[in-house]
Amino acid sequence: MSAGAGPANVSGVQPLARSLVYRALADAFRYPERDGVHDVVSRIAASVGGELGGPLASALAELAGASRAVPLDRAREGYHAVFGHVTLPDCPLYETACGPTDPFQQAQALADLQGFYRAFGVEPGEEAHERADHLAVELEFMHYLAFREAYALERHGAERAETLRIAQRRFLEEHLGRWAPVVARAVAARAGEPLAAAARALEQFLRDEAARLGAAAAVGVEDEEDEA
């Protein structure tokens, strides 16, 4: 599967399906603490793939299969092999590890993230003791926004839903889309399954999301355009 393939009817995907994909990817990039986590990822990926169609459906099918096939001990070994106990330069799980090394700029980036979260009543990572800029936390936040968009469409109408859609576009442009595609490519090249499948699905999904939300091109898209 080529991560650079175009999305299939990305504008017609329902926010609830998008929310579930974000949830599956967030779980896929957390350390596999217990049995059953990858079963959840597998079920979500399999359930929404048909609605999404195209390259993303294929990527999610691969993720579902890999998540079912790999036992917990091997999944843990694979996670440690890629991410280890420290942040690796080519596969960081933290946004601030991908940007400027100046501590002041990193603090500003974290403060901006916290501002996004608090604006929507979210205190991320408290239970799991994860930093605000952890990849899984940022994916979980987009899961939350897309879920709220789905609820708003059903209960409050298009105007309220559009406010949440704008927030998703801004978060993709200013945070998640700026660094996660680069990390996804690095993980896909280095990791075994199911992390490699999760990385391929993540890159394709963020590409689709940039098109769907009218966001400025994600980093991965810009890189390919520059090379053309």
Q: What is the pLDDT of residues 184-196, one digit of tens each?
A: 999 999 999 999 9
In degrees and rounded to multiples of 5, residue 157 shows phi and psi of 100, 175
Q: Which residues contact 217 (CB under 8 A, 6 or more apart)?
A: 210, 225
| Angstrom distance (rounded) from CA 210 to CA 80 | 30
Q: Residue ranges of the domains in the chain?
A: 10-227
Residue 102's Cβ-count burial label (10 Å; 0-12, 13-18, 19+) is exposed
| Angstrom distance (rounded) from CA 126 to CA 109 | 19
pLDDT in tens, 97-153: 887 778 888 899 999 999 999 999 988 655 557 889 999 999 999 999 999 999 999
**CATH match of 10-227 with 2.30.40.10:** no
Q: Among 23-37, 132-146, 147-161, whose mean pLDDT is lowest?
A: 23-37
Contact, 17 vs 56, CB < 8 A? no
Alpha-carbon distances of 144 from 6, 23, 89, rounded to whole Å: 26, 9, 29
Contact, 220 vs 181, CB < 8 A? yes
Is residue 10 over pLDDT 50?
no
